[in-house]
Amino acid sequence: MDQNSKSAYVSMEGVGHKFDPRPEAPMVVQNIDLGIHRHEFVSVVGPSGCGKSTLLRMVAGLLIPSQGKVSVFDRQVTEPRDDVGIVFQKANLLPWLTVRKNVLFPLKHKYGSYTSADEKRANELLEMAGLTQFADKMPDELSGGMQQRVGIVRALLLNPDILLMDEPFSALDALTREQIGFDLLKIWRDHPKTVLFITHSITEAVLLSDRILVMSKRPGTVLDLIEVDLPRPRSQKTITSERFTELTDLIRGYIYEPNVQD
């Protein structure tokens, strides 16, 4: 698959960025080239501060790159987009609304109201995420993992073809994080999306992804773009497979022993 093909839904061409406009200021990321194709799941891993979230914010239109071009659906991104779903590190649910009303909130905010058909879709998404019995609960009655599932469902309500996820499971304990990873795979299988997933977890990236972009320390550049050749659907057996271990070890080598890879 040609990562720079014009058929890519999301593309980055020679992308670089710095937050300080002075010429001598250091770059946060530089020389990033990437193409993400329809319904592909691509993760980004790298050391803290290497610019992973900066890439996601540029795709979302929350940042305009200092260098190069970011395109979505073959159109250059120059402003925030409302046709792209975003899931952040925290669910950021409104504490005074029920779970169902939190899911419907983007429609209420954008259009001022929602229809019975919208409510039906919200209920279907909640059922898919295993949250039907919690639809009328308040957010503080849910566990952290359940709250994150609500955040994912909310991002899916407008049915965006592109889903951006910025370390969405980082605040969860290890067991919950693993389970919600499998939940996400089921949601993605049932409702395919083009996903850009930012994570610090190498095992999470290998479990979920079709490809993994491995970044260097700041200024973040591309060290490798790794094809994850593990069969789908993935399960607990995937994590214990020899190939899974080989891929995680390869990525750890880039991040923790970068000189070995030179």
Annotated domain spans of the chain: 1-83+165-262, 84-159
Query: Which residues have a Cβ under 8 Å from the Cβ of 132 and sit 6 or more positions away?
Result: 123, 126
| pLDDT at residue 242, rounded to an integer | 96
Residue 213 has pLDDT above 90, yes or no: yes
Return the minimum-mean-pLDDT range out of 49-58, 112-121, 250-259: 250-259
Return the minimum-mean-pLDDT range out of 24-33, 48-57, 99-108, 171-180: 171-180
| pLDDT at residue 262, rounded to an integer | 45
| pLDDT at residue 1, rounded to an integer | 38
Residue 4 has pLDDT above 60, yes or no: no
Instruction: Identify which of 106, 60, 105 has the alpha carbon closest to the alpha carbon of residue 81.
Output: 60
State the pLDDT confidence band at 2, using cuts at 50, 70 and 90: very low
With beta carbons less than 8 A apart as the criterion, state whether 67 and 17 touch. yes
Residue 84 has pLDDT above 90, yes or no: no
Average pLDDT on 145-160 reads 87
Q: Is 155 helix (H, G, I), strand (E, B) or coil?
A: helix
Structure tokens given for 230: 């593990």
CA distance 90 to 170: 8
Query: What letter does residue 216 receive in the DSSP assignment?
Result: P
With beta carbons less than 8 A apart as the criterion, state whether 116 and 79 touch. no
Average pLDDT on 179-198 reads 88
CATH pick for 1-83+165-262 out of 4.10.320.10, 1.10.357.10, 3.40.50.300, 3.30.70.60: 3.40.50.300
Q: DSSP E strands: which ranges in the chain? A: 10-17, 29-36, 41-45, 67-72, 75-76, 84-87, 162-166, 194-198, 211-215, 222-227
Residue 79 has pLDDT above 80, yes or no: yes
| pLDDT at residue 23, rounded to an integer | 82
